[in-house]
Amino acid sequence: MKHPDLPRGAWLEQLLEQSLIEDIGPGDASTSITVAPDSRAVARVVAREPGVLAGLPLLVPLLRRLDESVTVALERWDGDRVAAGDVAAVLSGPAAPLLTGERTALNFLQQLSGIASLTARYVDAVSGTGCQVLDTRKTVPGWRALAKYAVRCGGGTNHRFGLYDRIMLKDNHWAAGGDRISDLVTRGRRDHPDLAIEVEVDSLEQLDAVLPLQIEWVLLDNFTPDEVGAAVARRDAAATGTRLESSGNITLETIAAHAEAGADACSVGRLTHSAPALDLSLEMELQS
């Protein structure tokens, strides 16, 4: 498989730096009284449960902030599925920075691998249907690019990254604007011609009103699978090419039914706001 590219930039450098500062503060008191300055160690990142990995490329820029001589050998890649007991990476170098950086490194790996692992379960659930599994903007502030990267590692597809890369007209926009949806769509096409337009509907009647506008996407908010099937039939009859996104309390137990009903995509907020961390450990051995 093609492995996703880790997003990079000044924001990531700042996030890594601040994460270490948060944990270390004025100094690692435990390591300072435990490890001799010349002690060296080998540490292995080991999966304690099955899952999908994400975040491994962060190990080098994170740990080398503590000591430039730390080396990282990746045994697996982001997007790889692992079983309990599999080694994901081998770290070597001075023991002190490996101990000091252990928790921060695992925090990144466990959180991102948790997102990737949960995403993969959703993707598996709709396998063969052609339905995309989409993330949302429900991310921890400052972590969005990494969280959405982890979604890609799990086989999911990124929805919009922010308020700037798609026009999405939801019920609150209708209420706040006071304009007809057709007027808002016309204005959006005029002011932002390069952006796709998506409109949220919560009934088949609203869908009927929106389909003639021939927008790129319609979000079916809290539709049942039967209602999704009816929406697909109406869309196909209208022959507009509009794609349908099912959203609202999509779970592992229900996503297959939405996909089989014909939804082009299902968006799942819990991929990034409620994914349990993947259980990974750092097993260290001192070298003589």
Task: Please check whether residues 112 and 243 belong to one and the same domain.
Answer: no
The answer as to whether 193 is a domain residue is yes
* Predicted local distance difference test score (pLDDT) of residue 227: 98
The answer as to whether 39 is a domain residue is yes
Distance CA(164)–CA(133), nearest Å, equals: 21
pLDDT above 80 (res 245): yes
Residues 6+ apart with CB under 8 A from 29: none
Residues 6+ apart with CB under 8 A from 270: 118, 251
What CATH number does residue 28 fall under?
3.90.1170.20
The answer as to whether 5 is a domain residue is no
Task: Please check whether residues 133 and 268 belong to one and the same domain.
Answer: yes
Task: Please check whether residues 131 and 269 belong to one and the same domain.
Answer: yes
For the chain, the domain total comes to: 2
The answer as to whether 3 is a domain residue is no
Task: Please check whether residues 158 and 146 belong to one and the same domain.
Answer: yes
Task: Please check whether residues 137 and 262 belong to one and the same domain.
Answer: yes
Q: The domain containing residue 99 runs over which residues?
A: 10-123+275-287
Distance CA(42)–CA(72), nearest Å, equals: 10
pLDDT above 70 (res 1): no
**Average pLDDT over all residues of the chain:** 95
Task: Please check whether residues 139 and 204 belong to one and the same domain.
Answer: yes
> What pLDDT digit, counting tens, does each position of 173-231 carry?
666 666 688 889 999 999 999 999 999 999 999 999 999 999 999 999 999 999 999 99
The answer as to whether 96 is a domain residue is yes
First to last CA, the chain: 40
* Predicted local distance difference test score (pLDDT) of residue 249: 87
pLDDT above 90 (res 134): yes
Task: Please check whether residues 195 and 95 belong to one and the same domain.
Answer: no
DSSP per-residue letters across the chain:
-PPPPPP-SHHHHHHHHHHHHHHHTT--HHHHTTS-TT-EEEEEEEESS-EE---GGGHHHHHTTT-TT-EEEESS-TT-EE-TT-EEEEEEEEHHHHHHHHHHHHHHHHHHHHHHHHHHHHHHHTTTS--EEE--S---TT-HHHHHHHHHHTT-B---SSTTS-EEE-HHHHHHH-S-HHHHHHHHHHH-TTS-EEEEESSHHHHHHHGGG--SEEEEET--HHHHHHHHHHHHHHT---EEEEESS--TTTHHHHHHTT-SEEE-THHHHSPPPP-EEEEEEEE-
Catalytic positions are 103, 138, 170, 200, 221
Task: Please check whether residues 26 and 77 belong to one and the same domain.
Answer: yes
What CATH number does residue 168 fall under?
3.20.20.70
User: How many percent of the chain have pLDDT more than 90?
Assistant: 89
> What pLDDT digit, counting tens, does each position of 10-36 carry?
999 999 999 999 999 999 999 999 999
The answer as to whether 166 is a domain residue is yes
